[in-house]
């Protein structure tokens, strides 16, 4: 009898299902590996790399890849997904876990300031991850760029998308980012409808 599906399988089903449901007419090219172990695997994406900040965005595989993390100087892992386990030695990495779901009921904005501060204060490399590196983690990285790099929402979104094309924060998270932009800058660079269009058309 077949064994229990692996975490790789669930990531594949999650990511492929989002693509099919939300963007069936413009699904991105993905690489599928051997059928005995099918999964979508992307490299972690370099978002900011300066003297003071080395920020990466990735999925659960990237966040558990000790060799690559070490080679890139990453010392802090910020996992913003419920039920995603970081299986690395906590004596080697600073690991922060936020049990957040990729649903319309989840208000991630209550953690924007806290997570942005964690990213900003770390002088070594940081990776922010969720299950697939598409929705939750991307939302926090966009929020960070708005708060500490003074990018308005449309610019922060496009900046991250240029470096990780598969990002797709869900509609509720886009609303949270729109509200956060208003809080930070006192005005919005997008209307609500324009903000939601990013969710539908930028994949």
Catalytic residue list: 130
**Do you know the residue count of the chain?**
203
Alpha carbon 144 to its chain centroid, in Å, reads: 12
Task: Say if strands 45-49 and 125-129 run parallel, antiparallel, or are unpaired.
Answer: unpaired
Burial of 46 (0-12, 13-18, 19+ CB in 10 A): middle
| CA neighbor of 184 nearest in space, from 156, 141, 143, 135 | 143
């Amino acid at each position: 009898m077949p064994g229990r599906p692996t975490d790789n399988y669930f990531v594949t089903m999650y990511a492929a299902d989002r693509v099919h449901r939300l963007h069936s007419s413009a699904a991105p090219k993905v690489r599928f590996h051997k059928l005995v172990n099918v999964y979508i695997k992307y490299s972690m994406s370099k978002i900011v790399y300066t003297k003071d900040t080395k920020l990466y965005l990735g999925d659960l595989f990237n966040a558990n890849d000790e060799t690559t993390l070490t080679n890139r100087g990453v010392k802090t892992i910020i996992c913003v997904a419920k039920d995603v386990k970081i299986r690395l030695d906590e004596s080697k990495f600073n690991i922060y876990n936020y049990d957040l779901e990729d649903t319309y009921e989840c208000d991630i904005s209550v953690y924007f300031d806290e997570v942005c501060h964690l990213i900003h204060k770390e002088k070594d490399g940081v990776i922010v991850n969720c299950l697939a590196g598409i929705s939750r983690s991307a939302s926090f990285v966009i929020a960070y760029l708005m708060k500490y790099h003074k990018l308005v929402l449309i610019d922060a979104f496009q900046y991250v998308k240029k470096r990780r094309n598969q990002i797709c924060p869900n509609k509720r998270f886009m609303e949270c980012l729109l509200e956060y932009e208003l809080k930070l800058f006192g005005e919005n660079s997008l209307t609500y409808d324009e903000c939601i269009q990013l969710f539908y058309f930028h994949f």
